Amino acid sequence: SGDQLWEETVTTVALKDVTKVFPGGARAVDNVNLDVTDGEFMVLLGPSGCGKSTVLRMVAGLEEPTSGAVLLDGELANDLPPGERRVAMVFQDFALYPHMTVAENIAFPLRLAGIEPNPRDERVADVASALGIGDVLGRRPSQLSGGQRQRVAMGRAIVRRPGLFLMDEPLSNLDSGLRAELRAEISALTRQLGVTTIYVTHDQAEALTMADRVAIMRRGVLQDVGTPTQVYGRPATLYVAAFLGSPRMNLLEASVYVHLDRYVQLKLGEQSLYLPWSDIRSRTVAHYHGERIVVGMRAEALTPVAPDAPGEVLRGRIRYLEHHGHESLAYLDIGATAIVVDEMAGPVATGLPGERGLRRFGQVVQRLAGRSVGTA
Ligand code: ATP
């Protein structure tokens, strides 16, 4: 009978030291460790070619790891055929059957599994209504918009009530308005179903808005895993710091000098910032006395002030302004380095070029050649 199809559903995924080397040498995935918990929406994010699809395909059983273990619900699954994994996958080219109606497309996996028309049609109707395509069940794919087609593809995947939902750039063929709409729908739907999801994208807005946690990859290596707030606010590596966010995070080299437990001096080119010992950030930075570190400052963490404002101020000369409607960005030279500042955060610029002071700095991101400190 019907419901035994997904009786043993997968709810957790664990990758242990997983490496994939393709014949011909490309190390597509390099020693990745990742745990996806029950009901979690995990996004794999990274530039083209970083290995995220390969990770997904190994979870689906479409690729075999060269070494390491893929665990589904705690059980070694390396040799388990895709059909026995109880996972559903949606791709960007969502390949619907053109000669079948929407209802037939969605019902197809249930028919394959031998489910009777009685529960089958009801489930198809439920899924279609949840996806907002209940009124186009009789149409063929060629009579649908791109967004509707993608919803049908999703419907075909979730109609089996998978324990694990795998999606590889499912929105990348759609225009930007529709993408934003569908990403909210996909988040809502997967959470409503409580289904564990791994979602691959190179679009950071998609990742940050949809994910419970984001896993960021670069050249096969996992760089950072955390909630959107964690990876954005406390990036584990310089790469992640520079990769996430627009405008790009300011990354400035600084030398650190501790002055007798009273304050910490950060020497940024010609200028210095002095952090009083009472400032919690000074303790983190103090570890690097005598060393050069990279200080990360988001544009929105810097407040433009008058260059002669009292207190701790970095001084810079505006090179140009960029207006984006909801924000204006000022690009400044502060001696050796150019940085970008959100002008809306402070007094509006009057005339160019001009001097600006900058108050407050963000987090220390990383020691220059070393391990990350990632402190807010
Ligand atoms: P994209 O977003 O472009 O799909 P991705 O991050 O998903 O990129 P993968 O598709 O996982 O990246 O590819 C990772 C690396 O492995 C790339 O260098 C790619 O060329 C290589 N690769 C992927 N599949 C194969 C294959 N079947 N044979 C050989 N090399 C492959």
First to last CA, the chain: 55
Q: Is 51 in the pocket of ligand 1 (CB under 6 A)?
A: yes
d(C-alpha 160, C-alpha 106), whole Å: 9
The residue from 172, 204, 235 where one domain ends is 235
Q: Is 244 in the pocket of ligand 1 (CB under 6 A)?
A: no
Q: Are 152 and 102 a contacting pair, CB within 8 Å?
A: yes
Q: Are residues 319 and 365 in the same domain?
A: yes
d(C-alpha 104, C-alpha 114), whole Å: 14
Q: Are residues 219 and 261 in the same domain?
A: no
Q: Are residues 77 and 101 in the same domain?
A: yes
What is the DSSP secondary-structure string of 129-187?
HHTT-GGGTTS-GGGS-HHHHHHHHHHHHHTT--SEEEEESTTTTS-HHHHHHHHHHHH
Question: Could you tell me the CATH number of the domain that includes residue 207?
Answer: 3.40.50.300
Q: By 3-state DSSP, what share of the chain in percent is helix, strand and coil, each rounded to 5?
A: 30, 35, 40
Q: Is 49 in the pocket of ligand 1 (CB under 6 A)?
A: yes
Task: Decide if 146 is inside a domain.
Answer: yes
Q: Is 26 in the pocket of ligand 1 (CB under 6 A)?
A: yes
Q: Are residues 10 and 52 in the same domain?
A: yes
Among 25, 89, 100, CA closest to 57 = 89
Question: And the tokens for 122?
Answer: 């009801």
Among 178, 284, 166, CA closest to 234 = 284
Residue-level pLDDT at 33? 98
Question: And the tokens for 67?
Answer: 């070494």
The residue from 180, 207, 235 where one domain ends is 235
Task: Decide if 245 is inside a domain.
Answer: no
Going from the Cα of 52 to the center of ligand 1, the distance in angstroms, rounded, reads 8
In terms of Cβ atoms closer than 10 Å to its own Cβ (0-12, 13-18, 19+), residue 188 is exposed
Question: Could you tell me the CATH number of the domain that includes residue 285?
Answer: 2.40.50.140
Taking every pair of Cα atoms in the chain, the longest distance, rounded to a whole number of angstroms, is 79
Q: Are residues 117 and 167 in the same domain?
A: yes
Q: Among 52, 64, 166, 243, name the best residue to mutate to test ligand 1's pocket (greatest count of ligand atoms within 8 A of Cβ).
A: 52
Question: Hey, whose CA ends up nearest to atom 22 of ligand 1?
Answer: 28
Task: Decide if 241 is inside a domain.
Answer: no
Q: Are residues 175 and 257 in the same domain?
A: no
Task: Decide if 244 is inside a domain.
Answer: no
Q: Are residues 209 and 143 in the same domain?
A: yes
pLDDT in tens, the chain (376 residues): 344 444 446 789 999 999 999 998 789 999 999 999 999 999 999 999 999 999 999 999 999 999 999 999 999 999 999 888 888 888 776 678 999 999 999 999 898 888 888 889 999 998 898 888 999 999 999 999 888 888 899 889 888 888 899 999 988 877 888 888 888 888 888 888 888 999 999 999 999 999 999 999 999 999 999 999 989 888 888 889 889 988 888 888 888 899 987 888 888 888 888 888 887 777 778 888 888 888 888 887 777 777 677 766 777 787 878 888 777 888 888 776 777 877 654 433 333 344 555 555 554 544 443 333 333 3
Q: Is 68 in the pocket of ligand 1 (CB under 6 A)?
A: no
- ipTM value, please give it: 0.94
Task: Decide if 47 is inside a domain.
Answer: yes
Q: Are residues 143 and 227 in the same domain?
A: yes
Q: Are 200 and 44 a contacting pair, CB within 8 Å?
A: yes
Question: Hey, whose CA ends up nearest to atom 28 of ligand 1?
Answer: 22
Handedness of CA 42, 47, 48, 54 (dihedral sign): negative
Q: Are residues 91 and 226 in the same domain?
A: yes
For the stretch 159-171, what's the b/e string if a residue is b when 16 or more beta carbons lie within 10 angstroms of its beta carbon?
A: bbbbbbbbbbbbb
Q: Is 22 in the pocket of ligand 1 (CB under 6 A)?
A: yes
d(C-alpha 196, C-alpha 167), whole Å: 11
Residue-level pLDDT at 250? 85
d(C-alpha 334, C-alpha 317), whole Å: 7
Going from the Cα of 53 to the center of ligand 1, the distance in angstroms, rounded, reads 7
Q: Are residues 36 and 151 in the same domain?
A: yes
Task: Decide if 274 is inside a domain.
Answer: yes
Task: Decide if 206 is inside a domain.
Answer: yes
Residue-level pLDDT at 344? 56
- Atom number, ligand 1, closest to the C-alpha of residue 50: 6
Q: Are residues 223 and 257 in the same domain?
A: no
Q: Are 314 and 306 a contacting pair, CB within 8 Å?
A: no
- Parent domain of 106: 2-235
The residue from 235, 270, 304 where one domain ends is 235
d(C-alpha 295, C-alpha 302), whole Å: 13
Task: Decide if 243 is inside a domain.
Answer: no
Q: Are residues 326 and 178 in the same domain?
A: no
Residue-level pLDDT at 9? 66
* Domains contained in the chain, number: 2
Q: Is 28 in the pocket of ligand 1 (CB under 6 A)?
A: yes
